Structure 1
């Protein structure tokens, strides 16, 4: 007997999101720290590939949020502000 899995609206949205231009999780991991430094240091949004990947990959998105919260003090901002700034940058930049 199998159980049905209930997916949240957020999960369904991520699974059906167009994540082009494509970027692998490994490449995302290699780029996210530099992207956060640029975003917090001079408000330069992440490149399109990284934004698309972070919108579509919950794991990498959570890792990026954790890193943003971790480095927030270096940019004199609260962790919640850093995470919000990242989320705004990946959802609105280039839109």
Structure 2
């Protein structure tokens, strides 16, 4: 795995092969991953894992994302992305050991 995501590795440690788990975590555990997926579904496989999640951006201004730019932290509403006319989608990432 090119980028090591300790959130995923730690979740996999407590799972059995074939098990599916909803993973949630505090943003400060992995800022980069939290910007894309938090929460997400994780399935442990014998030779890897799958990450998947249905994503629909908030359109009511009730969900906030914290952004960490080194020493500068700020929050903004997730509904700003509707400026781009977003469409809900399913994200899937498959990792397999070679």
State the TM-score bracket (shorter-chain normalisation).
Answer: under 0.3
TM-score under structure 2 length normalisation: 0.24
Q: Of Structure 1 and Structure 2, which has the larger fraction of its residues in strand?
A: 2
TM-score, length-scaled by structure 1: 0.24
Q: Which has the higher contact order (CA 8 A, sep 6+)?
A: 1
More helix by share: 1
Instruction: Tell which structure's C-alpha radius of gyration is larger.
Output: 2
